[in-house]
Copies of this chain bind each other. A is one copy, B any other.
């Protein structure tokens, strides 16, 4: 099951994980302690995040440190770019488009 980066971010726990490990890499157990949640539940979220490339594992003995992958997160930024001009321009172009459609109907 190939995971989607948008779907990965939809879950609030996974967003919290990303915010945490953006500061410092953590093991699954360490994450589970931060949230009031079982290790296995956290592990499932880790799997989703890892499958879509948002986090990367780093083995250290029997512990695994997961760290954040900013490059993958940039894909969001790329997707958002198509809308960015719309909130940056004070002059709202949507109203223009809408009225244009209405005129065409007449």
Contact = CB atoms under 8 A, between A and B. Distances in A.
Given A10-B10, A82-B22, A74 B87 contact: yes
Q: Could you tell me the dominant secondary structure of chain A's interface residues? A: helix
Contact of A70 (B18, B58, B76, B87): B87
Contact of A83 (B7, B12, B70, B102): B70
A86 B68 contact: yes
A19 B87 contact: no
A98 to B, nearest CB: 5
Interface of A: 4, 6-7, 9-10, 12, 15, 18-19, 22-25, 58, 60, 65, 67-68, 70-71, 73-74, 76-77, 79-80, 82-84, 86-87, 92, 94, 97-98, 100-102
A87 B73 contact: yes
Given A24-B101, A70-B87, 8 more contacts: A6-B12, A7-B10, A22-B86, A58-B98, A70-B86, A73-B80, A73-B87, A76-B80
